Amino acid sequence: MPDHPLPALNTWVEVPKNSDFSIYNLPFGVFKNKKLSPRIGIAIGDKIVDLSILDQEGFFATLFLPEGIFLRDSLNDMIALGKTQTKKIRERVQTLLLEGNAELRDHSARGKVMVTRKEAEMLLPVKIGDYTDFYSSSEHATNLGKMFRDPENALLPNWKHLPVGYHGRASSIVVSGTPIHRPKGQFKSPDSAAPMFGPSQKLDFELEVAFITGKQTRLGDSVSTVDAEDFIFGFVLFNDWSARDIQAWEYVPLGPFLGKNFGSSISPWVVTLEALEPFRVAGPTQEPEVLPYLKCENTHSFDINLEVFIQPEEKKPAKISTANFSAMYWNVAQQLAHHTVNGCNINVGDMMASGTISGSAEDSFGSMIELSWNGSRMVKLGEGDERTFIEDGDTVIMKGFAEKDGVRVGFGEVSGQVLPAKPL
Ligand code: MN
């Protein structure tokens, strides 16, 4: 574990205390506003550094970037330049923002480069080619196993031998702030003979963290656990909206389908692997021993604090869960190694979500189905409100941040309001 103290970095930009977007973070995103067309920026404090203007003004001259690389409506082309280049872009911006560096601070274009974040509309940061969802929290898998199968053998026999996953739907991944209509579908209660059709009565969220791939492989090739992180560009918060009643009826034998693919929400700022470097921690010990292709140094977990809030319409958000990403049994290197071990190729901009992140405490579960134990107990929201599942008008908000020695690197948030089901 790297445990050297972090270098103290100060910036001339006014960054509010406890901002997720410190000088140490500098996540990439795609934004526009009333005057500006979609473009790539880096967040710091309450500002966005407009990389396209920096480029036009020659601040990246030594990097020989393709023309207009930041005037895009997704990060894909920039990410495809490779980690060496994207690291240099981020490091150059960090240098320009350092206290004592006058290059940008005293430049006539400073006003154009520094955009007010509040006035910007954030767009989906990547064009997502393929989306995979894992199932890597042993607490979450155990809770669901206890609820629906055998409390004595909650984990299925394969679970500790491979990172279970399924192929999700990329078309319905939306950026934070996009409302989600309650899905309609089939469900069947155990005591009724035939299924019913209607709006889901058990709409849920799943607290997840997803990584975005930054390098492609060829069909037939595999990525080892040793090389896996070279293929990871960065991370976002991920809400894998789930309709539990639709899911329970449809999932046999091929797994999740319409109970999942009606929408997933992600946070707009992509936090790079480099920014998370100081927050590496050891993950849980894996027992039994995994097969050789899944073996790795236990250094691929990250100490990221996660929080979930429900905000009923016209009320204050209430915190309902606090978890940590480092509790995940399977790490990102193992997920990617497993995903490609059969020769499945990956592309720049693929999204791989962790699976629901639950801790062992009852207030650290990452979904309503666990927090309300499948609707058998009420989750209190304060102001007299309580829930078993998500109701129309509710906004679900997830936040995430890493913090150590006074250094904070955060994700901001992913939020989404649930609207009533659309009529057929
Ligand atoms: Mn999920």
Shared domain check, 150 and 113 = no
Shared domain check, 186 and 254 = yes
- Examine the fold and report which residue of 68, 96, 122 is the final residue of a domain before the chain moves on: 122
Q: Quick check: is 411 in a domain?
A: yes
Shared domain check, 141 and 105 = no
Q: Is 140 a catalytic residue?
A: yes
Shared domain check, 118 and 135 = no
Q: Quick check: is 23 in a domain?
A: no
Q: One of 140, 300, 338, 339 is an active-site residue; which one?
A: 140
Judged against a pLDDT cut of 60, whether residue 323 lies above it is answered with: yes
Q: Quick check: is 84 in a domain?
A: yes
pTM for the full predicted model: 0.97
Shared domain check, 147 and 68 = no
How much distance in Å is there from the Cα of 20 to the middle of ligand 1? Answer: 25
How much distance in Å is there from the Cα of 239 to the middle of ligand 1? Answer: 8
Shared domain check, 196 and 82 = no
C-alpha triplet 74, 80, 86: angle, nearest 5°:
90
Count of the separate structural domains present in the chain: 2
- Tell me what pLDDT residue 2 has: 52
Judged against a pLDDT cut of 90, whether residue 265 lies above it is answered with: yes
How much distance in Å is there from the Cα of 106 to the middle of ligand 1? Answer: 47
Q: Quick check: is 347 in a domain?
A: yes
Distance CA 148, CA 140 (A): 12
Shared domain check, 269 and 298 = yes
Q: Quick check: is 12 in a domain?
A: no
- Tell me what pLDDT residue 383 has: 86
Shared domain check, 243 and 105 = no
Judged against a pLDDT cut of 80, whether residue 367 lies above it is answered with: yes
The domain that holds 78 is classified in CATH as 2.30.30.230
The domain that holds 179 is classified in CATH as 3.90.850.10
- If you average pLDDT over residues 359-375, what whole number do you get? 97
Shared domain check, 107 and 151 = no
8 Å CB contact between 29 and 35: no
- Tell me what pLDDT residue 5 has: 66
How much distance in Å is there from the Cα of 133 to the middle of ligand 1? Answer: 6
Shared domain check, 387 and 254 = yes
Judged against a pLDDT cut of 80, whether residue 299 lies above it is answered with: yes
- Examine the fold and report which residue of 93, 122, 151 is the final residue of a domain before the chain moves on: 122
8 Å CB contact between 279 and 303: yes
- Examine the fold and report which residue of 122, 152, 177 is the final residue of a domain before the chain moves on: 122
Residues with Cβ within 8 Å of residue 180, at least 6 apart in sequence: 174, 241, 262, 263, 265, 416, 417, 418, 419
Q: Quick check: is 16 in a domain?
A: no
- If you average pLDDT over residues 240-254, what whole number do you get? 96
Residues with Cβ within 8 Å of residue 252, at least 6 apart in sequence: none
How much distance in Å is there from the Cα of 355 to the middle of ligand 1? Answer: 4
Quote the tokens at residue 181: 């209509």
Q: Quick check: is 4 in a domain?
A: no
Domain with 68, as residue range(s), is 28-122
Q: Which residues of 146-164 are buried (b: 16+ CB within 10 A; e: fewer)?
A: beeeeeeebbeeebbebbb
